[in-house]
Amino acid sequence: MRHITPRWLPRKLRTVTFCAIGASAVVLSAYFATASSATSMTAGSAIPASAAHQLKAAMYQMAKASGDARPTSIQAVLTTRARALQLATPGETVPGSTGQTVYLVVMKGHFTLREVSVPRGGRAPRGHYLSETLNPTTLQPMDIGLRNQASPIPLQSLGPVSNLTRR
């Protein structure tokens, strides 16, 4: 049974701007610093070489932070977020994802996610297949999936695959 939000719920009218000013400046500068020169990219099209180079650097950073600096493989496609979720986080849905273009990156390796929230006493998630969707403009992560089995959905079914693995 869904909880019904009371209509009388008040919003607190507290002004705590002290913290927000500095934080906003940091976030805005970070946003512009990480924004790529991504042009209008279409789901299902190939990832431009310049964008792939930038994406590759970001994903190796991610792989290192996730406990495997030399993953066996890193592959990426440009697709819709809805289709990416079918592979990255099977069965789970996020509203508004159908028309949203994202990078879907799948890495194979030995990963431990220590930089994600878990309940007290919970173990850091571990797995061999780390899938991530990213905003093509900011490269900010939007969804992350980590499991031990590869997805039954072939990555190439979503579009041309860019191999980002270092040789």
Q: Which residues bind another protein (CB under 8 A)?
A: 1-6, 8-20, 22-24, 26-27, 30-31, 34, 61, 65, 88-97, 100, 113-122, 124-125, 127, 140-149
We find the least distance from the C-beta atom of residue 46 to another protein, in angstroms, to be 25
Alpha carbon distance 102, 82 (integer Å): 9
- What is the closest distance, in whole angstroms, from the C-beta atom of residue 51 to another protein in the complex? 18
Pick the closer one to another protein by CB: 92 or 156: 92
- Name the residue nearer to another protein (CB basis): 88 or 155: 88
Q: Nearest 5°: phi and psi at 41?
A: -105, 145
Contact 111, 67 (CB under 8 A): yes
Q: Are 106 and 117 in contact (CB under 8 A)?
A: no
Residue 36 contacts residue 51 (beta carbons within 8 Å): yes
DSSP state of 42: -
Pick the closer one to another protein by CB: 10 or 167.
Answer: 10
Closest distance of CB 6 from another protein, Å: 6
Cβ distance 136 to 38 under 8 Å? yes
Cβ proximity to another protein, 117 vs 167, nearer residue: 117
